[in-house]
Chain A
Amino acid sequence: ETGVTQTPRHLVMGMTNKKSLKCEQHLGHNAMYWYKQSAKKPLELMFVYNFKEQTENNSVPSRFSPECPNSSHLFLHLHTLQPEDSALYLCASSQELAGSLYEQYFGPGTRLTVT
């Protein structure tokens, strides 16, 4: 499969559950991102990984825990979520080359519902 893939596509979880979202990019990129997209709100950047190292954490609550075992895979571990965390979670990847950034390729997203 090509591009950026995400699993699962839909997830319903209770507030006491633990689940993980998975993202895989097949583009050879060196940067990966997690975004949260809520209804009628802009894309909210959550985490950035560059060459497997986390470079940004935009004040995200600790109930969201990212993991980047290699430059092709990115996980978002979820624990004790709140109903307001229900949203579309998008993964993206991009390439930084000689200091210049190139377009982000987005995955299809995971639609998360917290009950």
Chain B
Amino acid sequence: GENVEQHPSTLSVQEGDSAVIKCTYSDSASNYFPWYKQELGKRPQLIIDIRSNVGEKKDQRIAVTLNKTAKHFSLHITETQPEDSAVYFCAASRRGGGNQFYFGTGTSLTVIP
């Protein structure tokens, strides 16, 4: 089965700086890679996703890059704000994979004002 690894497990940045979270996956057939944000006491919510036919996707201050050859994808948050503080999870899934999503272990991001 798929194995998703996520680093770092914790990350602290100054407000205004950038944050980068990296994930690797093992199954070359994986083709859908969502990122979820979970604020304290709340449900995980999708913030951005990317499919294997695209190398990069941006949405305002958030971007995701995908390197299919190296089997890794990264979340980039620019101009961080205190409200970006949360746990971020990456995930991987594939067509015909039994609807399974494989999640990373999460990164706790703290943005220091």
- Residue contact A48 to B49, C-beta cutoff 8 Å: no
Query: Nearest Cβ distance between residue A46 and chain B, in whole angstroms?
Result: 12
Q: How far is the CA of A50 from the CA of B100 in the complex (A)?
A: 10
Q: How large is the interface on A (under 10, 10 to 19, 20 to 34, 35 or more residues)?
A: 20 to 34
- Asked if residues A101 and B32 are in contact (CB atoms below 8 Å), the reply is yes
Considering the complex, give the chain A residue whose CB is closest to the CB of B94.
A101
Q: In the complex, what distance in Å separates the CA atom of A102 from the CA atom of B91?
A: 12
Contact across chains for B98 and A50 when beta carbons are under 8 A apart: yes
Q: A32-44 vs B: 1/0 string, CB under 8 Å?
A: 0100000001110
Closest to A108 in B: B43
Let me know if A66 is at the binding interface, CB within 8 A: no
Contacts of A50 in B (CB 8 A): 98-99
Report the minimal beta-carbon distance from B93 to chain A, rounded to whole angstroms.
Answer: 5
Contact of B43 among A56, A102, A109 (CB under 8 A): A109
Interface 9-residue window, one of A14-22, A79-87, A92-100: A92-100
Query: Judging by beta carbons under 8 Å apart, are A94 and B46 in contact?
Result: no
Q: Which residue of A lies closest to B6 (CB)?
A: A42
Do B98 and A42 touch (CB < 8 A)?
A: no
* A74 at interface by CB-CB < 8 Å: no
